[in-house]
């Protein structure tokens, strides 16, 4: 039977997800905006590393409070894996979107002249970006599930593993699909900047990839029951 958490604990978790997702979107899309505003001083490599490093930092900063999902697709993936209370999925997603919108709103006030605010837009075919986003999110969620189960020492390095995957995928796939892997990260700047073209790609593909990763993890790991164990960093 699912154990219900005290209301105060739930509010702390939701506040942590709001703050963490704010940091992710503000730093990550902010790096894109500042790179454009400064004539490329941040660089594509710098943008990719910024996304990876801010996620790494937030996992260690708030991971013990909310799990530092920072991503509706990750929250849904944990719910499908039965490692997260289903009743908290929607509140988590709402908090993540709230943090993302706050971040995009701040960037809009700071850089009102910027046209996209770091929104993800496919280069070329939207279908190609759709497939890329599914695969990228599958890899990300697979790593998250893998490093958050099993031996305790895996949990200690979870932040490094997850942040590294995000940076890696942003570095090689970012120029084509944006390497969002996160519906909240794409939704907020798109709505604030009014860039809704191909938004469906970034709202649906990460969720498909995250759910697929749950079944992939169950197939590959020798002890599927490990997927139901509590995670010391991401719970």
pTM, entire model: 0.88
- Tell me how far apart the alpha carbons of residues 6 and 161 are, in angstroms, rounded to a whole number: 31
Give the pLDDT of residue 5.
63
Residue 154 predicted with pLDDT over 60: no
Q: Measure the CA dihedral 118/119/123/127, to 10°.
A: 150
Q: Which domains are delineated in the chain?
A: 7-228 (1.20.1080.10)
pLDDT band of residue 75 (cuts 50, 70, 90) is very high
Tell me the average pLDDT across 84-103. Answer: 96
Tell me the average pLDDT across 19-25. Answer: 98
Total residue count of the chain as it appears in this document: 235
Tell me the average pLDDT across 181-191. Answer: 97
DSSP for the chain, please give it: -PPPPPHHHHHHHHHHHHHHHHHHHHHHHHHHHHHHHTTSSSHHHHHHHHHHHHHHHHHHHHTTTT----SHHHHHHHHHTTSS-GGGHHHHHHHHHHHHHHHHHHHHHH-TT-SSTT----SS-HHHHHHHHHHHHHHHHHHHHHHTSSSHHHHHTHHHHHHHHHHHHHHHHHHHH-----HHHHHHHHHHHT--TTHHHHHHHHHHHHHHHHHHHHHHSS-GGGGGSPPTTT-
- For the stretch 46-69, pLDDT in tens is 999 999 999 999 999 998 899 999
Most confident of 81-85, 204-208, 227-231: 204-208
- Tell me how far apart the alpha carbons of residues 26 and 66 are, in angstroms, rounded to a whole number: 19
Q: Which of 7-11, 55-59, 213-217 has the lowest mean pLDDT?
A: 7-11
Question: Residues 167, 51: contact at Cβ < 8 Å?
Answer: yes
């Amino acid at each position: 039977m699912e154990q219900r958490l005290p209301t105060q604990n739930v509010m702390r978790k939701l506040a942590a997800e709001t703050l963490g997702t704010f940091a992710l979107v503000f730093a990550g899309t902010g790096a894109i905006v500042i790179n454009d505003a400064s004539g490329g001083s941040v660089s594509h490599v710098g943008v990719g590393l910024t996304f990876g490093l801010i996620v790494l930092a937030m996992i260690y900063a708030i991971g013990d409070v909310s799990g530092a999902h920072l991503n509706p697709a990750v929250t849904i993936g944990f719910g499908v894996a039965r490692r997260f209370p289903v009743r908290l999925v929607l509140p988590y997603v709402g908090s993540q979107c709230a943090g993302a919108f706050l971040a995009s709103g701040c960037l809009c006030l700071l850089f009102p002249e910027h046209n996209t605010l770091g929104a993800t837009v496919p280069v070329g075919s939207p279908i190609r970006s759709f497939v890329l986003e599914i695969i990228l999110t599958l890899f990300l969620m697979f790593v998250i599930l893998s490093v958050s189960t099993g031996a305790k020492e895996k949990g200690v390095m979870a932040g490094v593993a997850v942040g590294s995957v995000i940076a890696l995928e942003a570095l090689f796939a970012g120029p084509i699909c944006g390497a969002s892997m996160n519906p909240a990260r794409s939704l907020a700047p798109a709505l604030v900047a009014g860039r809704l073209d191909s938004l469906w790609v970034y709202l649906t593909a990460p969720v498909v990839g995250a759910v697929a990763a749950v079944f992939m993890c169950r197939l590959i790991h020798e002890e599927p029951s490990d997927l139901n164990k509590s995670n010391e960093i991401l719970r």
